[in-house]
């Protein structure tokens, strides 16, 4: 084979000459394309109906965060000291992104109104509008409004003494236009109603009112139907529900504050009132009322969304949760356990014999919880060290750390207070841990601690009765969160390999002491070495290819955006390295461009579980180097976070990672999408006479247990 050598700069020059094919795909459009792939599951007739509705809710939640973070960030980058800085590139990017968002939202509501809700109604599950409700239902709703809703509402008529009220981020509100004069003889025409957050957004009607099924009403529909009751003697001209999305990135000057936790606690409240970046109204909202709101919140017209349904589709998940219909959901699934640790009483004795690899959610996360719990009660354990990025409000693992501290063990917990949207939960746990006697550290100023590490140190006796410290570690690709471990695919390694575990201890020493970490032989640590090691491994494969030997890279991650890594991949492709990338979300690499990336294939798997594991595989002349990591190939992960990639050293476990985490996803022809060179995604379909294959379905059957066969589509 004639192989062409290409430097990173050559790769960039080559693609820059292709005007129609810029070197990188647009990050925002790529992220939105991921939401289109999720939305495709909401249209898939093979997916159970309530799960299809849940996928629509997931897309809405993703778009909320997209506006709160990505769009907010782009808009903020165009502001300097409050003044708008004109940039044609930024304006064009925002216009393209806005057009795509409007298309996605329009498609969302079309799927909801034309497919999912009619199908639910056909089987007796009704989401009733006011005109759909019969007389008895209307009477019950009127009583419910009077007793449960109206007492909590505070309509605000706008005048100089009643200015436009503060509107919370993503809260449900109503704007009302009235004719006539108010009680004081003035021409006040506009009122605002805020729906209290304590009220449920989806209300189930009594069964007696729905003898042939089950009926629900949205809170917004009930308030709409009774707005006139709130403004006696006034003529209601028009009204609309509305919702404002705000910039939700928290910012504190970490170098100036004396106590990050206290500063963050005060900043959390301000998140609800950040700069407004999106306005959603009902589709029948009069243009002048929508314009009034746009002016009030200083939002550009292209960020107005007039929707055919609830302004917050995420809230429909409340209806899903109230429906116990098993036939409309995915089949129940129970994770399995590796045979050699099932019913093991002493996890530490087991780890001395053999490392344990866990593949979540196909295998249970419980052994990790048991690992920390056993350490809390084990008399030989002297210290426990733990990183926490996301753990949720309820966590058995965190309770075990508190018990360990109360029992006098040296407990050190690195709590990332700046974990987006989990700040409050992490602050609460930090407070509880400190009160229990644990040493709590908030990571490194300016860097998020995203590594997933747990370390247990035991003082054990050797055969001569002499005491020595022995290290046990858990390293993972996902969070220590009880809910996400059931929904996200991740790998975790429990190990007693002393060389590896001692390096884990070095990471903790680095995070607490703020000293530069020692050179490590096994762990790749960001921000010091991770990107460098990734590029070194890529270039090593390129060297092998140039010498005429087979070279291959397979990598699985959530996002691929780092420009230096992408250039290294382009260069390796030009040298003949076969590169297969499994990227769930945003991908800036453009595959399949002749002379640049024709040896690169990119695919995305979107299925029942959220693909979250990060796996790096390098063939390396049949050494088959396998690394698991907490980091995606993004600049923020490689340089603005504390991240760890760790090798799988045991050959049996290495084969498991390849055979469970990579190969099935490369052959999936059911839930896979392939990225084309123009940036579009093509859904994979089984070729003629090819067997239908779903990676997640196969892993559920081989690693876990389920009570009903799942359609592999």
DSSP for 532-575, please give it. HHHHHHHHHHHHHHHTTS--EEEEEES-B--HHHHHHHHHHHHT
402: nearest Cα among 379, 369, 380, 435? 435
- Tell me how far apart the alpha carbons of residues 183 and 232 are, in angstroms, rounded to a whole number: 10
* For residue 50, pLDDT beyond 90: yes
User: What are the residues whose beta carbons fall under 8 Å from the beta carbon of 27, sequence distance 6 or more?
Assistant: 70, 561, 586, 588
- Tell me how far apart the alpha carbons of residues 355 and 348 are, in angstroms, rounded to a whole number: 10
- Stretch 702-709: mean pLDDT: 67
- Tell me how far apart the alpha carbons of residues 417 and 391 are, in angstroms, rounded to a whole number: 12
- Stretch 532-543: mean pLDDT: 98
Residue 187 — very low, low, confident or very high, per pLDDT cuts 50/70/90?
confident
How distant, in Å, are the alpha carbons of 233, 451, 633 from that of 388? 57, 8, 21
* For residue 15, pLDDT beyond 60: no
Is 450 one of the catalytic residues?
A: yes
Residue for token pair 């809170």: 219
Token pair listed for 328: 């409309």
Contact 563, 535 (CB under 8 A): no
Q: What is the DSSP letter of 159?
A: B
* CB-based burial label for 436 (10 Å; 0-12, 13-18, 19+): middle
Fold observed for domain 8-23+525-706: Endonuclease; Chain A (3.30.870)
Residue for token pair 């991770």: 530
Residue 713 — very low, low, confident or very high, per pLDDT cuts 50/70/90?
very low
Residue 552 — very low, low, confident or very high, per pLDDT cuts 50/70/90?
very high
User: How many residues can be counted in the chain?
Assistant: 713
Residue 711 — very low, low, confident or very high, per pLDDT cuts 50/70/90?
very low
- Tell me how far apart the alpha carbons of residues 690 and 698 are, in angstroms, rounded to a whole number: 16
Neighbour order of strands in the sheet with 202-204? 125-127, 214-218, 202-204
CATH of region 49-328, choose from 3.30.450.40, 3.30.1840.10, 3.10.100.10, 3.40.30.10: 3.30.1840.10
* CB-based burial label for 356 (10 Å; 0-12, 13-18, 19+): buried
CATH of region 344-522, choose from 3.40.50.1110, 3.90.1410.10, 3.40.50.720, 3.30.870.10: 3.30.870.10
* pLDDT score recorded for residue 707: 44
User: What are the residues whose beta carbons fall under 8 Å from the beta carbon of 53, sequence distance 6 or more?
Assistant: 42, 112, 116, 120, 316, 319, 320
Residue for token pair 């076969």: 578
- Stretch 243-265: mean pLDDT: 62
Residue for token pair 């049996």: 652
Q: How many CB atoms lie within 10 A of CB 16?
A: 11
- Tell me how far apart the alpha carbons of residues 261 and 56 are, in angstroms, rounded to a whole number: 35
- Tell me how far apart the alpha carbons of residues 311 and 285 are, in angstroms, rounded to a whole number: 12
Contact 629, 644 (CB under 8 A): yes
How distant, in Å, are the alpha carbons of 1, 284, 589 from that of 637? 36, 44, 17
Contact 454, 472 (CB under 8 A): no
Q: What is the DSSP letter of 687?
A: P
* pLDDT score recorded for residue 706: 53
571: nearest Cα among 600, 529, 548, 549? 600
- Tell me how far apart the alpha carbons of residues 125 and 120 are, in angstroms, rounded to a whole number: 5
User: Which of 5-19, 464-478, 687-701 comes out lowest in average pLDDT?
Assistant: 5-19
- Stretch 279-294: mean pLDDT: 97
Token pair listed for 217: 């009403």
414: nearest Cα among 404, 403, 401? 401
Contact 52, 43 (CB under 8 A): yes
Contact 384, 391 (CB under 8 A): no
* pLDDT score recorded for residue 4: 42
* For residue 251, pLDDT beyond 70: no
Buried b (16+ CB within 10 A) or exposed e, 94-123: beebbebbeebbebbbebbeebbbeebeee
Residue 425: alpha-carbon gap to chain centroid: 16
- Tell me how far apart the alpha carbons of residues 217 and 140 are, in angstroms, rounded to a whole number: 11
* pLDDT score recorded for residue 20: 43
- Tell me how far apart the alpha carbons of residues 503 and 500 are, in angstroms, rounded to a whole number: 5
477: nearest Cα among 341, 645, 264, 642? 645
- Tell me how far apart the alpha carbons of residues 332 and 361 are, in angstroms, rounded to a whole number: 13
- Tell me how far apart the alpha carbons of residues 301 and 304 are, in angstroms, rounded to a whole number: 5
Q: How many CB atoms lie within 10 A of CB 258?
A: 6
Q: What is the pLDDT of residues 97-122, one digit of tens each?
A: 999 999 999 999 999 999 999 999 99
537: nearest Cα among 645, 432, 463, 635? 645
* pLDDT score recorded for residue 709: 45
- Stretch 660-668: mean pLDDT: 98
- Tell me how far apart the alpha carbons of residues 37 and 34 are, in angstroms, rounded to a whole number: 5
User: What are the residues whose beta carbons fall under 8 Å from the beta carbon of 604, sequence distance 6 or more?
Assistant: 34, 37, 582, 583, 584, 585, 587, 672, 673, 675, 681
Contact 530, 631 (CB under 8 A): yes
454: nearest Cα among 358, 363, 534, 531? 358
Residue for token pair 């999936």: 668
Q: Is the pTM of this model over 0.75?
A: yes
Domain 49-328 in the same topology as domain 8-23+525-706: no
Contact 225, 147 (CB under 8 A): no
Q: What rounded mean pLDDT belongs to the chain? A: 89
Token pair listed for 629: 């990591």
H or E stretch at 292: helix 287-297
Contact 401, 374 (CB under 8 A): no
How distant, in Å, are the alpha carbons of 87, 350, 454, 470 from that of 397? 49, 20, 11, 22
For the chain, give every domain's residue range. Answer: 8-23+525-706, 49-328, 344-522
Residue 416 — very low, low, confident or very high, per pLDDT cuts 50/70/90?
confident
Question: Phi/psi at 215 (nearest 5 deg)?
Answer: -125, 145
Single out the catalytic residue among 450, 464, 481, 624. 450
User: Which of 70-79, 451-460, 494-503, 567-576 comes out lowest in average pLDDT?
Assistant: 70-79
* pLDDT score recorded for residue 387: 94
Token pair listed for 129: 């509008």
Residue 461 — very low, low, confident or very high, per pLDDT cuts 50/70/90?
confident
């Amino acid at each position: 084979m004639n192989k062409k050598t290409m430097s990173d700069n050559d790769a960039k020059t080559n693609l820059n000459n292709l005007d129609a094919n810029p070197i990188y795909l647009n990050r925002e459009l790529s992220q939105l394309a991921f939401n289109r792939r999720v939305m495709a599951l909401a249209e898939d007739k093979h997916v159970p109906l309530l799960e299809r509705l849940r996928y629509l809710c997931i897309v809405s939640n993703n778009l909320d965060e997209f506006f709160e973070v990505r769009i907010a960030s782009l808009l903020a980058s165009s502001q300097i000291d409050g003044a708008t800085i004109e940039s044609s590139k930024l304006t064009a990017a925002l216009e393209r992104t806005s057009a795509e968002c409007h298309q996605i939202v329009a498609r969302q509501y079309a799927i909801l109104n034309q497919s999912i809700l009619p199908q639910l109604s056909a089987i007796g599950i009704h989401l009733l509008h006011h005109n759909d409700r019969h007389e008895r239902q209307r009477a019950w709703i009127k009583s419910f409004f009077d007793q449960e809703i109206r007492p909590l509402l505070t309509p605000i008529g706008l005048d100089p003494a009643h200015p436009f009220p503060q509107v919370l981020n993503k809260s449900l509100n109503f704007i009302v236009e009235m004719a006539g004069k108010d009680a004081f003889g003035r021409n006040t025409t506009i009122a605002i109603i805020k729906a209290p957050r304590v009220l449920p957004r989806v209300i189930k009607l009594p069964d007696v009112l729905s003898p042939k099924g089950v009926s629900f009403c949205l809170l917004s529909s009930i308030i709409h139907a009774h707005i006139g009751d709130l403004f006696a003697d006034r003529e209601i001209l028009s009204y609309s529900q509305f919702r404002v999305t705000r910039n939700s990135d928290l910012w504190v000057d970490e170098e100036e504050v004396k106590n990050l936790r206290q500063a963050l606690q005060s900043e959390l409240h301000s998140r609800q009132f950040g700069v407004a970046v999106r306005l959603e109204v009902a589709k029948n909202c009069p243009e002048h009322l929508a314009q009034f709101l746009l002016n009030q919140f200083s939002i550009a017209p292209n960020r107005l969304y007039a929707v055919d349904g609830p302004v917050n589709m995420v809230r429909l998940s409340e209806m899903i949760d109230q429906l116990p219909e098993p036939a409309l959901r995915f089949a129940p699934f129970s994770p399995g356990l590796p045979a050699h640790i099932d019913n093991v009483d002493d996890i530490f004795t087991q780890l001395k014999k053999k490392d344990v690899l866990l593949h979540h959610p196909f295998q249970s996360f419980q052994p990790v919880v048991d690992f920390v719990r056993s350490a809390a009660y084990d008399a030989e354990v002297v210290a426990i060290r733990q990183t926490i990025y996301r753990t949720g409000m309820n966590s058995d693992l965190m309770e075990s750390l508190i018990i360990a501290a109360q029992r006098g063990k040296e407990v050190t917990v690195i709590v990332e207070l700046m974990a987006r949207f989990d700040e409050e939960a992490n602050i609460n746990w930090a407070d509880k841990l400190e009160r229990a006697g644990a040493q709590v550290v908030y990571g490194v100023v300016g860097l998020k601690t995203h590594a997933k590490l747990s370390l247990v140190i035991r003082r054990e006796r050797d055969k001569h009765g002499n005491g020595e410290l022995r290290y046990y570690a858990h390293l993972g690709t996902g969070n220590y969160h009880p809910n996400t471990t059931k929904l996200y695919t991740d790998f975790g390694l429990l190990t007693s390999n002393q060389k590896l575990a001692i390096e884990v201890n070095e990471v903790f020493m680095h995070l607490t002491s703020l000293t530069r970490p020692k050179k490590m032989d096994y762990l790749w640590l960001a921000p010091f070495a991770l990107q460098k090691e990734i590029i070194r491994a890529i270039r090593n494969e390129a060297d092998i290819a140039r010498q005429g030997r087979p070279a291959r890279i397979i990598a699985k991650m959530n996002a691929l955006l780092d420009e230096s890594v992408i250039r290294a991949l382009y260069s390796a492709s030009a040298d003949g390295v076969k590169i297969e990338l499994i990227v769930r979300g945003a991908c800036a690499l453009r595959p399949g461009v002749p002379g640049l990336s024709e040896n690169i294939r990119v695919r995305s798997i979107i299925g029942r579980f959220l693909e979250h594991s990060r796996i790096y595989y390098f063939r390396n002349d049949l050494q088959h180097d396998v690394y698991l990591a907490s980091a995606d190939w993004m600049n923020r992960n490689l340089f603005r976070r504390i991240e760890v990639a760790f090798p799988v050293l045991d050959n049996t476990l290495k084969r498991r990672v390849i055979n469970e985490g990579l190969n099935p996803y490369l052959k999936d022809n059911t839930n896979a999408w392939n990225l084309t060179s123009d940036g579009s995604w093509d859904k994979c379909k089984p070729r003629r006479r090819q067997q239908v294959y779903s990676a997640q379905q196969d892993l559920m059957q081989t690693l876990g247990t389920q009570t009903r066969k799942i359609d592999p589509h």
